[in-house]
Chains A and B, each alone.
Chain A
Amino acid sequence: MLDDVQELVQRCLAGEQAAMFALVERFQGQVFGLCFRMLGHRQDAEDVALEAFSRALGSLRNWDPQRPLLPWLLAIAGNRCRTWLAGRARAPKHCGDVESLPGKPSGHQAAGALAEEVGRALDKLREDYRRAFLLFHEQELSYEEIAAALDCPVGTAKTWVHRARREMIAELARRGVVEESRHAVRAV
């Protein structure tokens, strides 16, 4: 697998367009998935994924062949997302972004509604917590890979994932999605 990727990268460096195409097709699901989850908007995710891949192809020489390519790509994509989000934060916010209240508890059993609640809780996370959480639980990277992608110590990456979980659960509890909300989740 790693050898395949290395060969693909070498061909990309030689300027072979078919190899570039193959490389993007191979990893676009993960890169676009992270962008979509981070940005919550399909077109934005598409734009950022395009930018991330373009940057990655332009700096493939900087990739360490001893390490897997995916975390490196996701690191670039994550950084582009962060830049995008920073720009979005500076832009005027949309009106009418009213938070919908949860319906009856039985409604939360529906998978779609639950996914929506989880998505909302995800959006409320701090950006670095969200990235760490997604890289661990969705992209299934190891903590070492996450630490490399986020340019932080492994312990910090772990802490961010743990805190992300706690905060999301607390948010779900606050909205009544999690039963037994009498007792607040301990702050971290």
Chain B
Amino acid sequence: MRCEQFEERLDQLLDERRSPCVDPSLAAHAAGCAGCRELLAGCGLLLGALPGLPRPAPSADLAEHVVARATARRPLVVWSGRRAALLAVAALLIVGLMPLVRRAAPPPQPTLPAAAADVAAGHAPIPLGRIALVSLPAISEREIKVLAHSTGERVALVVMHFPDYSPADGSDGGATRPAWIEPVADGLRPLAESVSGAWHVLRRTVPGATDTRL
């Protein structure tokens, strides 16, 4: 046996987790070769010493720490390729269709002119661009609600309903107006009063102006 063969055979036995002693040819070669004898002795020493190496146990709370860390961490969401692709397609569809949906929505129709025209049938045309309105035949609160589709329209109709309202002439249109508006336009009274108050305060700053409210 040559030294290379000795080493090969030794490695083979150790790889199979067998003792070199099972092959007498190894001992025979080692007896006549100092280097191989040292290798053989070293293997025995090394592998015999391994179990004697200190093996400290982990601390008792290692598992506890691991679980605490694992559960404290946000769970990892693993997206499959298919799932991620579906999500991407859905997102693209939503983004792509959004402008179409917006475009398809009908533009808001000014319903007030038609409604007001019906109410005012047979009378002078209603100057909706201004608040100064012509006198209209009396209509009930219920009719106002039916005719007007929005708060703004209701306000306009109420204003039309009360001929004494005439902001174009500089007056405040009467202190009772917000009270009349409120039944058909909830919440407008405080707003109207605030605006009215601010307007009067502003008017007082103008030299020569009179505040009829105070």
Interface residues of A (CB under 8 A from B): 15, 17, 20-21, 24-25, 28-29, 32-33, 36-37, 42, 45-46, 49-50, 53-54, 57-59, 61, 111-112, 114-115, 117-119, 121, 137-138, 140, 143, 158, 161-162, 165-166, 168-170, 172-173, 177-186
Contact = CB atoms under 8 A, between A and B. Distances in A.
Contact of B66 (A20, A59, A181): A20
Nearest to A177: B45
B46 A57 contact: no
Contacts of A15: 71, 75
Interface residues of B, number: 41
Nearest to A17: B67
B119 to A, nearest CB: 67
Contacts, number: 127
A33 B45 contact: no
Contacts of A21: 63-64, 67
Given A143-B15, A177-B45, A178-B45, A46 B59 contact: yes
Contact of A114 (B45, B58, B62): B45
A115 B41 contact: no
B34 interface: yes
Contact of A173 (B33, B38, B63, B64): B38
B49 to A, nearest CB: 4
A51 to B, nearest CB: 9
B70 A20 contact: yes
A28 B63 contact: yes
Given A24-B63, A53-B70, A178-B45, 7 more contacts: A33-B55, A112-B52, A169-B38, A169-B39, A172-B42, A185-B38, A186-B7
A19 to B, nearest CB: 9
Contact of B38 (A42, A61, A111, A178): A178
Interface of B: 3, 7, 11, 14-15, 17, 33-35, 37-39, 41-43, 45-47, 49-50, 52-59, 62-67, 69-71, 73, 75-76, 78
B62 A137 contact: no
Given A29-B57, A183-B35, A58 B70 contact: yes
A46 B58 contact: yes
Contacts of B41: 178-180
A-B residue pairs, 10 tightest by C-beta: A169-B42, A183-B35, A24-B63, A32-B58, A183-B34, A53-B66, A57-B70, A180-B38, A178-B42, A118-B49
A188 B66 CA distance: 41
16 contacts: A49-B58, A53-B66, A53-B70, A57-B66, A58-B70, A58-B73, A114-B45, A115-B52, A119-B53, A140-B17, A173-B38, A178-B38, A183-B38, A184-B35, A185-B35, A185-B38
